[in-house]
Amino acid sequence: MSGQVGDLSPKQAYALTQFRVRIQDILPDLPAQHDQYLLRWLRARSFHVAKAEAMIRKHIDFRRNMKVDTIISDWTPPEVIRRYVSGGMCGYDKEGSPIWYDVIGPLDPKGLLMSATKQDFMRTKIRNIEMLQRECRHQSNKLGRNVESVTLIYDCEGLGLKHLWKPAIETYGEILTMFEENYPEGLKRVFLIKAPRLFPMAYNLIKHFLCEETRRKLIVLGGNWQEVLRKHVDAEQLPVAYGGTRTDPDGDPRCRTMINYGGTVPRSYYVQNFIKAQYDTSVTISRGAVLQLDYHVSAPCSLLRWQFSSDGADIGFGVYKRTEEGSEQKVAAMLEVVPSERYNAHLVPEDNMITCAEPGMSTVSFSPRGSATRWRCFLLHCEHIRPDRTRLTPT
């Protein structure tokens, strides 16, 4: 049995019933509640109900932390990402699924990662996925049948050593992991076209981020790639540049109004080119160690602001609230306020803040990760600012 609606074994049907009962409390927080949507999570965990429940509950936390429900309307990617990250949605396959194009050649990984934070790239990808999911729902309503996945055409022409830069591979791996954990069954198939000789090396670097089911959906096409694409996509839905008849209104065969082709990022976008500041503190942190800085928030609606960079590698950072005043408490026992993530602060200094709704003790935590043995973390600012704008030093 396929595990799809209408093709369930008795065991699969029972698992679906149990799954719905066990997640009854979070159903209103999900983007959809119908069986087709819930079955995606069960298939991703081979109909193991407890594992599927753990996966979808983690997804609810992800949606809340990343503000996924409003990311399309309330957040816009930085200009450098909008202009220089290639790709876009263009047309539908013969079954009505949206088609997304990733165009690797024009990408400038180093320029992009020197100009925007890893978190901005992650939010951009989430925003794109949510837009595609919304398009799938639109197609489902329009066609009267369930459309839940996307066809991806991955144009590998121009893939080179610059794309195998370690920070770029790490960032891409984190994005793939995020996709696998939060959008199961989101891909119908992936066509890889114009793959150069370097492709096997590139694939070996990222394949461990992909589950076995996703790997099976990868289709590497040879010299007849245009013919194969036309078997799955009607010519009028396929750009002329990819073997179809579709053009932009002005006749552009590459459909640039829908597919961005990126390019080399001008150095004027590089964030470090503008940072001319003396850091307040330089701290060396050993691998496996954690640096905690405590701030006593004495007034509600105060701001907690941080600015930092790291030397040589990215670094983990999170913000927590102590649940026990006046005692030593490890981060794991605190209330998570800003989830710990890896920041490419060795390329782009981090600058952000939160509003502390209630008084209490807040803790910022730095945690090195990776193969290096020691990190230097430069603290430009890490401060608590009261509503009257008075700055307080850490306790």
Question: Given a cut of 80, is residue 385 above it in pLDDT?
Answer: no
pLDDT digits (tens, 9 = 90+) for 175-226: 999 999 999 999 999 999 999 999 999 999 999 999 888 999 999 999 999 9
What mean pLDDT do residues 5-19 have? 93
pLDDT at position 324 is: 74
pLDDT for position 282: 74
Tokens, residue 332: 């794991």
Give the C-alpha distances (Å, rounded to integers) separating 193 from 166, 247, 368.
24, 20, 38
Per-residue pLDDT, averaged over 46-67, amounts to 95
Q: What are the domain boundaries of the chain?
A: 10-65, 71-269, 275-392
Q: Which secondary-structure segment (H or E) carries 103?
A: strand 98-103
Mean of the per-residue pLDDT values of the chain: 88
Q: Residue 248's pLDDT is what?
A: 94
CATH of 10-65, one of 2.60.40, 3.40.50, 1.10.8, 1.20.120: 1.10.8
Label residue 375 by pLDDT band (50, 70, 90): low
Indicate the angle between helix axes 49-65 and 166-182, nearest 10 degrees: 120
The CA distance from 100 to 167, in Å, is 24
Rounded Cα distance between 176 and 154, Å, is: 14
| Level-2 CATH architecture, domain 71-269 | 3-Layer(aba) Sandwich (3.40)
Q: Please, which residues have CB within 8 angstroms of residue 147's CB and are 6 or more apart in sequence?
A: 95, 96, 97, 136, 137, 139, 140
Is the CATH number of domain 275-392 3.20.170.30?
no
Residue type, 219: I
C-alpha–C-alpha distance, residues 65 and 378, integer Å:
26
Question: What integer is the mean pLDDT of 313-340?
Answer: 81
What pLDDT was estimated at residue 391?
52
Across 118-132, average pLDDT: 96
Tell me what pLDDT residue 274 has: 61
